[in-house]
Amino acid sequence: MTNPLLADWDTPFGLPPYDRITDADYAPAVEAALDEARANIGAIAENPEPPSFDNTIAALELADETLGRVLGAFYAQAGADSNDARQALMREFSPKLAAYGSEITSNAALFTRIEALWQDRDALDLTEEQARVLMLTRRGFVRAGAQLQGQKAARVKQIKQRLAELGTRFTQNLLADERDWFMDLTARDVQALPGFVQDVARAAGAEQGRGPVVTTSRSLIVPFLQFCPDRALRQKAYEAWTSRGARGGENDNRAIAAEVLGLRAERAALLGHENFAAYKLETEMAGTPAAVCDLLMQVWTPARRAAEADAQVLHDMLRADGIEGPLHPWDWHYYSERRRAAEHDLNEQEVKPYLQLDRMIAAAFDCANRLFGLEFREIDAPLYHPDVRVWEVTRDGAHMAVFIGDYFARGSKRSGAWCSAIRSQQKLAGDIRPHVVNVCNFAKPSEYQPALLSYYDARTLFHEFGHALHHILSDVTYPSISGTSVARDFVELPSQLFEHWLEVPEVLESYATHAETGQPMPRDLLDRLLAATTHDMGFQTVEYLASALVDLAFHDGPAPADPMQKQAEVLEEIGMPAAIRMRHATPHFAHVFAGDGYSSGYYSYMWSEVMDADAFEAFQQAGGPFDPQMARALEAHILSKGGSEDAAALFTRFRGGMPDAAALLRGRGLAA
């Protein structure tokens, strides 16, 4: 029988036929696609015709088109709905794909053709986009070791394969720890919690065939920490949450982290760089570790000052409850929530009924419509899980994209939130429009109950949808520069910028409606909610910056033999407040250790925030948040361009220059 992954996909808009795909189909499809890709690469490398842009660079862009289609379907499913078979496939595929990548970049005949084009680039009459793709292709080969020979080339290939294996193991260990830990709640424990937390705890337990439980899903454990009055239970839950990947046994990630850091340092040295951070940042906007450290420390000092002042207030509240001793990390969320209720007359239980998931999705869609003219129509299509929803995106009647939303937490889904593309926009193989996926981990409600979000959850939804817009509005020719294929410290600009529209009062006035009454959020509650957006910002900034600084320190110098000791040394050096821990401790720091994506790059959220704060101020200074001229400029200069130009040039064209950290500090309420 024909493998459905390799046949034509006769589905709405060419989506993967998940209703016909079985786990057993993936491995043979990947093997067949790899064979096809290798044959295509060989034909390019051995082409007797002189190298041209079309027969070499453009041909490379499409050489593994089938492989990309198969893997797009697989990784969308494996990351959000894992099982034993898919985990085994991930372990099987990662070294094979790393080896395939190394085969390409170590193909001497292929690199000779690319190098010849690079040397003759001024005589090729290339478009700006073609010149960019040529530069990026050559740079990618060089950075992968194409100029190395002999033992050095072989060792780089070994390192890449081993890193791929370790990244997969790190992810799967973390998923296992998150899936396996839960804490049963007694009737008394449940009764002490607000109704919405009770509902989520019962739903989480029902998924496991148990009574109410707490899990390490952020959408459950954070409200539990905010509202549970039992300090011992808070400590037990918090320690479980922050010890993921470090509980000993086969799921422990500490040795993996140490090996990863050592291999990255070795790889960077083989490629002629001082350390891995220098290697990684060479292609980013920041450029150097020193530039990154300078930005982070500009923000660290005022953030720590604010956090320490807040810690004193919370400690006084702890003492007022008759508790001696210091404020601990498992106390912070609880007393901070009580403080928010007191100072802003605001609490999560009051706000949450107004933040219905369906209404927040509609709000994000409406903002995209008002800014960019996009329209969304929910459709039926085969997806990888019953909870997943799908929409067709159009503009002026023309098809623009397919948008897929996978919003609820489940045991088979890794933690966090992310955006990916099953298929990216391009024009090289025809007018190919993207299939974009947003994955979140919101608490699934009990049956017949509406899904309610925290304000943090709502921001996450808008954030990931900002990434989706980067894909949806992409308008480039070549797949390698499509959508979010940009510098790592630029990729968060569209996502973080779109978060600002959640804070536009008219958006919440229209879409924040009560789950039971349907009434809009009262104006006084809306005002209090927006006034509290910078509440606890010292804490939020410190926990993030600590992770970013540890990530940088891991890679800006020799690889530490003991990453946990290095982590402790960095935190002591920067003066980490005792009652706050890193947002992502090393053993569960998936951004950095599940792959190379954010290694030496976790800072990029803040680098992008400098730009997004300045960019939203541009809207405010013009005609307001929905100013049509600014929206057209944002699409024309950033969202449609992908990686077709240098990131700094794109932002400068949009804004007239590069910003400093002043707007960021004002936006976070940390300015002096």
Q: Which residues are catalytic?
A: 464
Name the one residue in this structure whose structure tokens are 């953030």. 303
Determine the Cα–Cα distance for residues 524 and 448; give it in Å rounded to an integer: 30
| Whether 103 contacts 145, CB under 8 Å | no
Of residues 77, 569, 609, the one with CA closest to residue 298: 609
**Dihedral, CA of residue 140, residue 144, residue 148 and residue 151, to nearest 10:** -170
Chain mean position to CA 513 = 29
Contacts 24+ apart (CB under 8 A), 22-29: 23/83, 23/85, 23/86, 23/89, 24/85, 26/70, 26/74, 26/86, 26/89, 27/89, 27/92, 28/3, 29/3, 29/5, 29/70
Determine the Cα–Cα distance for residues 185 and 274; give it in Å rounded to an integer: 52
Q: Which residues contact 235 (CB under 8 A, 6 or more apart)?
A: 328, 330
Determine the Cα–Cα distance for residues 580 and 576; give it in Å rounded to an integer: 7
Determine the Cα–Cα distance for residues 51 and 57; give it in Å rounded to an integer: 9
Beta bridge partners of 439: 406, 418
| Whether 610 contacts 498, CB under 8 Å | no
Of residues 86, 92, 65, 63, the one with CA closest to residue 74: 86
| Whether 421 contacts 72, CB under 8 Å | yes
130, containing H or E segment: helix 128-144
Per DSSP, the three-state class of 442 is strand
Which tokens hold the place of 305? 């000052």
Determine the Cα–Cα distance for residues 479 and 61; give it in Å rounded to an integer: 7
Query: In this structure, what are the phi and psi dihedrals at residue 299, rounded to the nearest 5 degrees?
Result: -90, -30
Angle at the Cα of 273 (from 268 to 275), degrees rounded to 5?
A: 65
In angstroms and rounded to an integer, the radius of gyration of the C-alpha atoms of the chain is 25
Determine the Cα–Cα distance for residues 525 and 352; give it in Å rounded to an integer: 12
Which tokens hold the place of 301? 């000092």
Per DSSP, the three-state class of 159 is helix
